[in-house]
Amino acid sequence: MGNQFKDRTVLVTGAGSGMGREVAVQLASEGAFVTLWGRRKAPLEAVAMEIQEAGGSALVQVCDISNPDEISANLKASIGHFGTLDAAFANAGYLGEFKPLRDTRTDDFADLIQTNLIGTQQTVAQCLSHMENGVVLINASWTAGAVMPGSGAYAATKAALLAMMRVFAVEEGPRGNRINAISPGIILTPMADDVLDPEISARLSKHTPLRRNGKPEDVTGTAMWLLSENSDFVTGQDIVVDGGFTLGGALR
């Protein structure tokens, strides 16, 4: 185990699988006390067991970020348990149903907005109320700046998150709080598996200069850097981690 995050307390939302899981495990391996949030208890407990068996410390809390009251109650309990909150990875999100925008109805936006936009805003805002010289990292998406047909409603919420992130960064700077975003490209997580069949996945990998799709662990290094003191003069930024997918260069 390293000590880059020794004695720092970090909250990870959506920690039961995918990028959240990988970042949480890596944070713990670097000495962090990690609070794991997610809607399902069993995956969180599996992550916590992995962390604890490696000598780390993790707290499991079932929390649906679409409910501000759950955020508040769980945050209070987490801080009561660990004594402080130093950083947060606002990773939880909802993909929704991919469909053309002309077929997208009001109801299709409801859960996306409540979880991706309002839920993330409430998570970040409530965390920041307990922080000075803290760090928040928001998981956005490459779709906020490039186009995948069918992702219009989802992409709209992620683009709004980036705008919100920049405002947070300016407002919170005087308190020493840093807020950044990471925009993963095609990352093969359980959520992505819901919309990417093997044929589409193969086509996407061929379009990527590095000739492969990403794995959750491909995001970990950038996330760890943005959450650490190594990036202590970086705020209000979005870093795209996509193997070059959004460069849009001609295929060879």
Task: Name the residues annotated as catalytic.
Answer: 154
Compute the distance between CA of residue 150 and CA of residue 249 in angstroms, rounded to an integer: 22
207: exposed, middle or buried (Cβ count in 10 Å: 0-12, 13-18, 19+):
middle
Angle at 18 between CA 186 and CA 36, to 5 degrees: 145
- Letter for the amino acid at 71? I
Sequence-ordered alpha helix ranges (H) in the chain: 18-29, 41-53, 68-82, 106-112, 120-128, 152-172, 190-193, 198-207, 216-227
Report the relative pairing of strands 9-12 and 87-90 from DSSP bridges: parallel
Report the relative pairing of strands 33-38 and 9-12 from DSSP bridges: parallel
157 neighbors 65 (Cβ within 8 angstroms): no
Helix 68-82 to helix 120-128 angle (10° resolution) is 40
